């Protein structure tokens, strides 16, 4: 067991500060974030050019060290040596909280193994910021970050997560959102989804609706800028229903006067099923 006293301890080592940075709006930079970056001995930056613009904006002159996924293996021992010599280091990503979608986690583990204090300087987080304004249930939620790029891998991923009740958070490139939503629709059915674009920037936008509705919207208006997808989790009601239950409900609607195709569409929407799959199941049953 290890106990870390971040500010009351007498360790001869320096501290590793994980410092959040703005995800678009420079005004989101806190006083503590600025002061920490000014006071540390070095800043380990994912992209020194991007971080350089941030430092210039706030008049910060601290020396940067390039630290990203391609050089992390060779850089971590050097950073640990600096920390053990008593130097303080701030690690930052290009935007938001470090150590999530960058190599910061490996540095954190290495520091903890050496009993070096790891201190969070909290601030902007794209995933959580989008979640709380999405209108979908904020808890429980589960954050996945970036999805696999290949269609087959995505569908396998969604198949494994289809029954999860948590609201799901994904990062995605604007060029891949449409294909990702199509793959998601084929597995999840027509669930509620929120597409968030350009968070905290002048063109910030939330598209809220069913997956099919958002797909129709972005087919007509191609996306630009950084995107997130917030997706409704599986409902207990839908998970408890069998295919036979759904077909029985369709039959009840048809018997009550609803047109067959509309009944299938309504039931698919109600329980988050893929309309085409339910349509095929219904006709297979009718033809038996």
Kindly write down the DSSP assignment for every residue of 267-284, as one continuous string: HHHHHT--HHHHHHHHHH
- Give the architecture-level CATH label for domain 127-231: 2-Layer Sandwich (3.30)
Q: How confident is the model at residue 56 (pLDDT cuts 50, 70, 90)?
A: very high
Mean pLDDT of 248-259: 80
Cis peptide before 26 (omega within 30 of 0): no
- Report whether 219 contacts 178 (CB < 8 A): yes
- Report whether 70 contacts 114 (CB < 8 A): no
Say how far apart CA 198 and CA 204 lie, in whole Å.
5
127-231 shares the fold of 16-124: no
* Token reading at 187: 């597995």
User: In the chain, what percentage of residues exceed pLDDT 70?
Assistant: 94
Regarding predicted confidence, which is higher, 130 or 251? 130
Topology classification of domain 16-124: Cobalt-precorrin-4 Transmethylase; domain 1 (3.40.1010)
Mean pLDDT of 238-266: 76
Beta bridge partners of 170: 145, 229
Distance in angstroms between the alpha carbons of the first and the last residue of the chain: 64
Q: How confident is the model at residue 267 (pLDDT cuts 50, 70, 90)?
A: confident
CA 280 to centroid of chain Cα atoms: 34
Q: What are the structural domain ranges in the chain?
A: 16-124, 127-231, 243-286
- Report whether 148 contacts 154 (CB < 8 A): yes
Task: Tell me the whole-structure pTM to 2 decimals.
Answer: 0.80
DSSP label of 150: S
């Amino acid at each position: 067991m290890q106990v870390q006293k971040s500010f009351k301890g007498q360790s001869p080592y320096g501290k590793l500060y994980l410092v959040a940075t703005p995800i678009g709006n420079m005004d989101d930079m806190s006083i503590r974030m600025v002061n920490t970056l000014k006071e540390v001995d070095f800043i380990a930056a994912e992209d020194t050019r991007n971080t350089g613009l941030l430092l210039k904006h706030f008049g910060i002159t601290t020396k940067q060290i390039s630290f990203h996924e391609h050089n992390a293996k060779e850089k971590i021992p050097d950073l640990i040596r600096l920390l053990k010599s008593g130097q303080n280091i701030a690690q930052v990503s290009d935007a938001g909280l470090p150590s999530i979608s960058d190599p910061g986690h490996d540095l954190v583990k290495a520091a903890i193994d050496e009993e070096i204090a790891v201190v969070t300087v909290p601030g902007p987080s794209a995933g959580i910021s989008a979640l709380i304004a999405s209108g979908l249930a904020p808890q429980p939620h589960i954050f996945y970050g970036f999805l696999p790029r290949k269609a087959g891998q995505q569908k396998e991923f969604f198949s494994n997560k289809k029954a999860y009740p948590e609201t799901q958070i994904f990062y995605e490139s604007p060029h891949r959102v449409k294909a990702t939503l199509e793959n998601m629709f084929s597995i999840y059915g027509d669930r509620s989804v929120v597409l968030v674009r350009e968070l905290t920037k002048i063109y910030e936008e939330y598209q809220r609706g069913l997956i099919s509705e958002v797909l129709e919207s972005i087919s007509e208006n191609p996306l630009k800028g950084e995107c997130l997808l917030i997706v409704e989790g599986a409902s207990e009601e839908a998970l408890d229903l069998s295919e036979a239950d759904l077909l029985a409900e369709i039959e009840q609607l048809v018997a009550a006067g609803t047109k067959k195709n509309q009944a299938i569409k309504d039931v698919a929407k109600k329980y988050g099923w893929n309309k085409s799959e339910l349509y095929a199941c219904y006709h297979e049953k009718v033809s038996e």
